[in-house]
Amino acid sequence: MNACDPASHAVAGVSGLKPYEPGKPISELEREYGVSDVLKLASNENPLGVSPAARAAMAGQLDDLWLYPDGGGFDLRRALAARHGVEPACITLGNGSNDVLVLLAETFLAPGRSAVFSQYAFAVYPIATHATGAEARIVPALSQDARQPLGHDLDAMAAAVDDDTRLVFVANPNNPTGTWVGADALRRFLADVPADVVVVVDEAYFEYAQAMGVPDASAWLGEFPNLVVSRTFSKAYGLAGIRVGYTVSSPAIADLLNRVRQPFNVNSLALAGAEAALGDTAFIDRAVRENAAGMAQLRKGLLALGASAAPSAGNFLLVDLGRDAATVNEALLRLGVIVRPVANYGLPGHLRITVGTAPQNDRLLAALTQVLETT
Ligand SMILES: *Cc1c(COP(=O)(O)O)cnc(C)c1O
């Protein structure tokens, strides 16, 4: 072994991986750019913050942190099972839904197998797939002028499934495009895909998306035993920092995921916070309402700037600047505003902007106006 080149000994899928690029943390911008009062609209976090109920529940856990968490996540799984009308055996908890996506890849993928997903789909799918040595079969997205611009082409995705395919990822809605698929199209797709191929419907933005008519695929688990639905507490529930996500699936699939799951993958604060957040429906209702208003505000302001944004069922907009977005992004950073460049998705002329509170959206629009006039 060449001591200076561990990459030559890494498994092939890993040595070829490009790491996930997260939104820039506020502290990093402060450190690197010497700015303060930073506005971050880069990671689709909930601008309303943490639900008071979740905060209190987590505070109540502090004295017990010397104990290992409940590795089975009994209370949270029971609450989630009740929410979805399934048995607790159908719920698999993850350290964020990123964790359950990786568990799915570890369980069903290997060299010689493939996962199917769309061009412009969530960046975790290629990473989770490649890390297993499986092939990522990336299906060209719908065109820019489709009704769901750059969205998933479900017919083409179904056609890309072959004998080697074990996993299909459908993000509904998708990040970064904001696009979604309706109930009829998704059910047709599920009926088209062979019953031994696991279809993961990633509903990270479900609470926001519901209002746009995006279906709750977890209602179809009885009909499609190969269906897995993933959800997260990172977005509308306002708990991105504690890392909780989960899947709803058949007990048979959950049993497999549980074999590769780390025994204590969800910590005590997260278990308590997520369960309390689940019960805080007033907080979610407010988040959804304010997101709709904020998205309209952003959209109107962007239109006035000549920047277009496609429809979105999430809490973010994919904004087409019609010019190189990297320079615009850099100038926004200098003004203390963090948004998300998406060149890594193959979209160098776009920025993904999270919907903020009304004052945050005003500040973003003012900064963007200034930047577009001067750079
Ligand atoms: C944000 C996001 C997730 C998950 O995030 P976690 O914080 O790991 O739960 C999953 N899928 C999509 C499409 C997302 O945008």
CA–CA separation, 167 and 113 (whole Å): 9
Handedness of CA 50, 53, 58, 60 (dihedral sign): positive
Residues 139 and 161: beta-carbon distance below 8 Å: no
- In three-state secondary structure terms, 1 is coil
Q: Which domains does the chain have, with CATH numbers?
A: 21-49+282-374 (3.90.1150.10), 52-279 (3.40.640.10)
pLDDT at 1 over 70: no
Protein residue with its CA nearest to atom 14 in ligand 1: 204
Local confidence band at 169 (pLDDT 50, 70, 90 cut-offs): very high
In this predicted model, what pLDDT tens digit does every residue of 306-333 receive, in sequence order?
998 999 999 999 999 999 999 999 999 9
Q: What is the pLDDT of residue 230?
A: 98
Q: If you measure from the C-alpha of residue 245 to the centroid of ligand 1, how many angstroms do you get, rounded to a whole number?
A: 8
Among residues 266, 278, 257, the alpha carbon closest in space to that of 80 is found at 278
Please give the distance of CA 358 from its chain centroid, rounded to a whole number. 23
Q: What is the pLDDT of residue 2?
A: 55
Q: What is the pLDDT of residue 15?
A: 85
118: Cβ below 6 Å to ligand 1? no
State percent of the chain over pLDDT 70. 99
232: Cβ below 6 Å to ligand 1? yes
247: Cβ below 6 Å to ligand 1? no
Among residues 169, 165, 156, 221, the alpha carbon closest in space to that of 199 is found at 169
CA–CA separation, 137 and 194 (whole Å): 16
The mean pLDDT of 202-214, rounded to a whole number, is 95
Q: If you measure from the C-alpha of residue 330 to the centroid of ligand 1, how many angstroms do you get, rounded to a whole number?
A: 25
By mean pLDDT, which of 20-29, 51-60, 121-130, 350-359 is the weakest?
Answer: 20-29
Q: If you measure from the C-alpha of residue 375 to the centroid of ligand 1, how many angstroms do you get, rounded to a whole number?
A: 33
Q: If you measure from the C-alpha of residue 123 to the centroid of ligand 1, how many angstroms do you get, rounded to a whole number?
A: 10
212: Cβ below 6 Å to ligand 1? no
In this predicted model, what pLDDT tens digit does every residue of 46-95 receive, in sequence order?
999 999 999 999 999 999 999 999 999 999 999 999 999 999 999 999 99
Protein residue with its CA nearest to atom 11 in ligand 1: 204
Atom of ligand 1 nearest to the CA of 233: 9
114: Cβ below 6 Å to ligand 1? no
204: Cβ below 6 Å to ligand 1? yes
Which phi and psi angles does 39 have, rounded to 5°? Answer: -105, 120
Atom of ligand 1 nearest to the CA of 97: 9
Ligand 1 pocket mutation pick from 43, 92, 97 by most atoms within 8 angstroms of CB:
97
Local confidence band at 180 (pLDDT 50, 70, 90 cut-offs): very high
Ligand 1 pocket mutation pick from 175, 207, 214 by most atoms within 8 angstroms of CB:
175
In this predicted model, what pLDDT tens digit does every residue of 265-309 receive, in sequence order?
999 999 999 999 999 999 999 999 999 999 999 999 999 999 989
Q: What is the pLDDT of residue 71?
A: 96
Atom of ligand 1 nearest to the CA of 171: 13
Q: What is the pLDDT of residue 342?
A: 96
pLDDT at 115 over 90: yes
202: Cβ below 6 Å to ligand 1? yes
Atom of ligand 1 nearest to the CA of 235: 1
* Residue 200 structure tokens: 């993961």
∠ CA 6-9-15, nearest 5°, is 80
Among residues 196, 181, 149, the alpha carbon closest in space to that of 350 is found at 149
Protein residue with its CA nearest to atom 10 in ligand 1: 204
122: Cβ below 6 Å to ligand 1? yes
Handedness of CA 303, 240, 108, 215 (dihedral sign): negative
User: Does residue 21 or residue 194 have the better pLDDT?
Assistant: 194
Strand partners, 232: 245
What does the mean pLDDT of the chain come to? 96
Protein residue with its CA nearest to atom 2 in ligand 1: 204
Q: What is the pLDDT of residue 67?
A: 98
Q: What is the pLDDT of residue 3?
A: 66
121: Cβ below 6 Å to ligand 1? no
Q: What is the pLDDT of residue 212?
A: 87
Residues 182 and 213: beta-carbon distance below 8 Å: yes
In this predicted model, what pLDDT tens digit does every residue of 218-256 receive, in sequence order?
999 999 999 999 999 999 999 999 999 999 999 999 999
Q: What is the pLDDT of residue 60?
A: 97
43: Cβ below 6 Å to ligand 1? no
The mean pLDDT of 139-147, rounded to a whole number, is 96
128: Cβ below 6 Å to ligand 1? no
